[in-house]
Amino acid sequence: MIAFMRGMQTPAARLEDVKGRPFQANLPTEEVFTTPDYRRVDGTVRATRPLSLDGPVIRDLELTFADGVVTGVRASAGADVVRAHQATDARAARLGELALVDHSSRVGESGITYLETLLDENATCHLAWGAGLPPGAPAHLRTDDPARLDAAGVNTSRVHVDFMVGGPDVTVTGLGPGGKVVLLRNDAWEF
């Protein structure tokens, strides 16, 4: 279970520079992302693609979260690399992003795992440990003030690592005041 802040936003990769001018931070961009409340993540998630992290390739990654913190790291290759990376700072082992991508992604349609995060993250759904992305927070929280971000549940960390969790066997279900809503099933949007 991944909880979100009230008023969360789901932008694409459109950001603003220091002068307020909009730009696309990542091309191509196929994702719709948001920032979870880093304190409210529980359960186990399994990567659906390998991840290249600082050279080594992490395979069959599985992370277990309790009260927002990664409490277990398993992988058939590279678990120690992930553990070391998540020890970078006090918040590195917490969630910072959830992004949804469906099967119509041009990068995903290629069928290639590039082992290059900026491409692979546009092929399928992904999560990221480490820093949250302020554009995914409610508008009144878009600030660089770490204390305000922290109070709202936006993770602050020196790292941000995306790992892929989507695919045809993954269903993404949201739970809100109106009950459960399936967002993605069989790699396709449900609405």
Q: What's the DSSP call for residue 94?
A: B
DSSP reduced 3-state for 41: strand
Mean pLDDT of all residues in 146-166: 90
Strand partners, 62: 46, 74
pLDDT > 90? residue 70:
yes
Q: How far apart are CA 174 and CA 163, in angstroms?
A: 20
Q: Read off the pLDDT band of 150 (50, 70, 90).
A: confident
Helix, strand, coil % in the chain, rounded to nearest 5: 15, 35, 50
For range 121-138, the mean pLDDT: 85
| Averaged pLDDT, 9-28 | 74
More confident residue, 77 or 19: 77
Interval 31-56 mean pLDDT: 94
Selected residue with higher pLDDT from 13 and 179: 179
Question: Whole-angstrom Cα distance, residue 94 to residue 127?
Answer: 11
Q: Taking a C-beta distance cutoff of 8 angstroms, is the pair 152, 139 a contact? A: no
What HEC string does 115-161 produce? CCHHHHCCCCCEEEEECCCHHHCCHHHCCCCHHHHHHHCCCCCCCEE
